[in-house]
């Protein structure tokens, strides 16, 4: 986040204000109170960073149930120490999903804090990619995506309890799933069920860019499998009797590439291709896996029709297409825009400017937003290199992000 400018934002002002009035958010605290609360987290910056380090050093790859469950148990204890009631949604094939419920002095729908405890890094990554501090950053596997976001949940709740006599100003539900990095297949029903009961969803995935923009829109994600069956033949003795599945697949890939529409935010990427058995055999089989990204749900139906309308160029080959969009797009709805405006107003009281972004990657916020629940994503740490060897967070940004989260929990 960078220093605020005094120029007011005019885009969709009437629409945004109308939606805010409909949701009747709590009044934002005074500038002096918000600055005082920011100082609360500034004083605890080192403690927040130490908590992040502790979480990073408990490796939790998506495909290792024992490791993910170890981190889940650790976090359950930490959240219960803040007055929450933890329970696990037990899973057989992946880590258990952690839900923590916090009661409050007042009734009403809770705010859902959403995140995940799994990472993309295989077990044993830590020795070659240690968690270290250098040049004002904390490095390590999963530090940005998204163990720092979990630490911010802990400290935001701690701050709220400190300011409200060991209670929370409103009910809060936390859901930390174990399978977000591999598609959220087992956790999606839980996420959607809890979102339907919530006033709003705050997603602690990493922010966007060095300025810490929050995410008001994300593309939907789909995967398709394309299979071509041809006819095998000896490439020397019976060349003319063969029907090459690889040649047919090459033509299909060219046709698929023409479906890309960058202006609509619709992209298709054939990322994996395989086929054939030996160089002296006309290949009878070829397969390809296709990644699809859509900015609008109606484009998911469009691209599905277009893919299933593909026909073989060689009528002697068979073409099979399966798959679909499994993560709907998070569109910039009026409800999401209103929630962003609240966050931007809070940041302004801290003397900061909070920007918004639309990104190509998906998260579990896609599910909640598509249900019509006000959702704001990218509220986690500021940094770079997610899923890469240089994954890191900017330590100086931890206090303002935690302060923003705490104030949002109270005011939405």
- What pLDDT is attached to residue 26? 59
pLDDT in tens, 367-384: 999 999 999 999 999 999
- What pLDDT is attached to residue 113? 98
Contact 393, 134 (CB under 8 A): no
User: 219 pLDDT band (50/70/90 cuts)?
Assistant: very high
Single out the residue of 371, 336, 335 nearest to residue 192, CA to CA. 371
User: Does a cis peptide bond (omega within 30 degrees of 0) precede residue 146?
Assistant: yes
User: 6 pLDDT band (50/70/90 cuts)?
Assistant: very low
pTM comes to 0.88
Percent of the chain scoring above 90 in pLDDT: 90
HSE, CB side, 13 Å, CA atoms: give it for residue 51: 21
- What pLDDT is attached to residue 16? 35
- What pLDDT is attached to residue 106? 82
Residue in this structure with the two tokens 């297409």, named with its chain if needed: 321
User: 105 pLDDT band (50/70/90 cuts)?
Assistant: confident
End-to-end C-alpha distance for the chain, whole angstroms: 21
Contact 141, 85 (CB under 8 A): no
Give the DSSP per-residue string, 340-406: HHHHHHHHHHTTEE--EEEESS--THHHHHHTT--EEB--S--EE-TTSTT-EEEGGGHHHHHHHHH
pLDDT in tens, 333-357: 999 999 999 999 999 999 999 999 9
Residue 8 has pLDDT above 70, yes or no: no
pLDDT in tens, 20-79: 334 455 556 678 888 899 999 999 999 999 999 999 999 999 999 999 999 999 999 999
Other Cβ atoms within 10 Å of 260 Cβ, number: 13
Mean pLDDT in residue range 202-227? 97
Give the DSSP per-residue string, 208-269: BTTTTBEEEEE-EEEEEEEEEE-B-EETTTSGGG-B-HHHHHHHHHHHHHTT-BGGGTBEEE
Residue 18 has pLDDT above 90, yes or no: no
Mean pLDDT of the chain: 93
Q: How far is CA 146 from the centre of its chain?
A: 9
Percent of the chain scoring above 70 in pLDDT: 93
């Amino acid at each position: 986040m960078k220093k605020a400018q005094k120029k007011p934002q005019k885009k969709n002002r009437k629409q945004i204000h109308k939606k805010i009035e409909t949701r009747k958010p709590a009044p934002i605290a005074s500038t002096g109170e918000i600055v005082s609360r920011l100082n609360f987290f500034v004083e605890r910056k080192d403690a927040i960073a130490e908590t992040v380090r502790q979480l990073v050093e408990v490796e939790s790859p998506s495909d290792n149930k024992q490791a993910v469950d170890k981190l889940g148990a650790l976090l359950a204890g930490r959240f219960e120490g803040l007055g929450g009631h933890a329970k696990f949604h037990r899973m057989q094939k992946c880590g258990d999903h952690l839900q923590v419920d916090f009661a409050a002095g007042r009734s009403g729908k809770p705010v859902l804090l959403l995140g995940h405890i799994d990472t993309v890094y295989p077990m044993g990554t830590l020795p070659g990619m240690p968690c270290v501090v250098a040049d004002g950053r904390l490095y390590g596997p999963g530090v940005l995506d998204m163990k720092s976001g979990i630490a911010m949940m802990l400290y935001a709740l701690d701050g709220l309890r400190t300011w409200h006599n060991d209670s929370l100003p409103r009910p809060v539900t936390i859901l930390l799933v174990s399978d977000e990095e591999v598609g959220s297949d087992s956790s999606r029903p839980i996420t959607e069920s809890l979102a339907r009961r919530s006033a709003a969803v705050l997603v602690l995935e990493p922010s966007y860019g060095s300025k810490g923009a929050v995410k008001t829109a994300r593309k939907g994600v789909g995967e398709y499998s394309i299979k071509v069956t041809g006819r095998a033949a000896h490439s020397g003795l019976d060349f003319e009797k063969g029907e090459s599945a690889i040649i047919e697949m090459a033509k299909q890939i060219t046709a698929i590439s023409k479906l890309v529409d960058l202006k609509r935010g619709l992209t298709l990427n054939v990322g994996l291709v395989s086929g054939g058995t030996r160089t002296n055999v006309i290949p009878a089989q070829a397969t390809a896996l296709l990644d699809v990204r859509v900015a609008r749900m109606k484009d998911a139906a469009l691209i599905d029709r277009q893919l299933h309308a593909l026909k073989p160029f060689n009528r002697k080959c068979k073409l099979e297409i399966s798959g679909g969009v499994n993560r709907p797009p998070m569109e910039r709805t009026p409800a999401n825009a209103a929630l962003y405006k609240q966050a931007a107003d809070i940041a302004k009281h801290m003397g900061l400017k909070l920007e918004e972004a639309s990104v190509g990657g998906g998260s579990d916020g896609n599910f909640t937003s598509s249900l019509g629940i006000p959702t704001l994503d990218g509220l986690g740490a500021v940094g770079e290199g997610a899923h890469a060897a240089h994954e890191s967070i900017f330590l100086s940004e931890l206090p303002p992000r935690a302060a923003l989260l705490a104030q949002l929990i109270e005011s939405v």
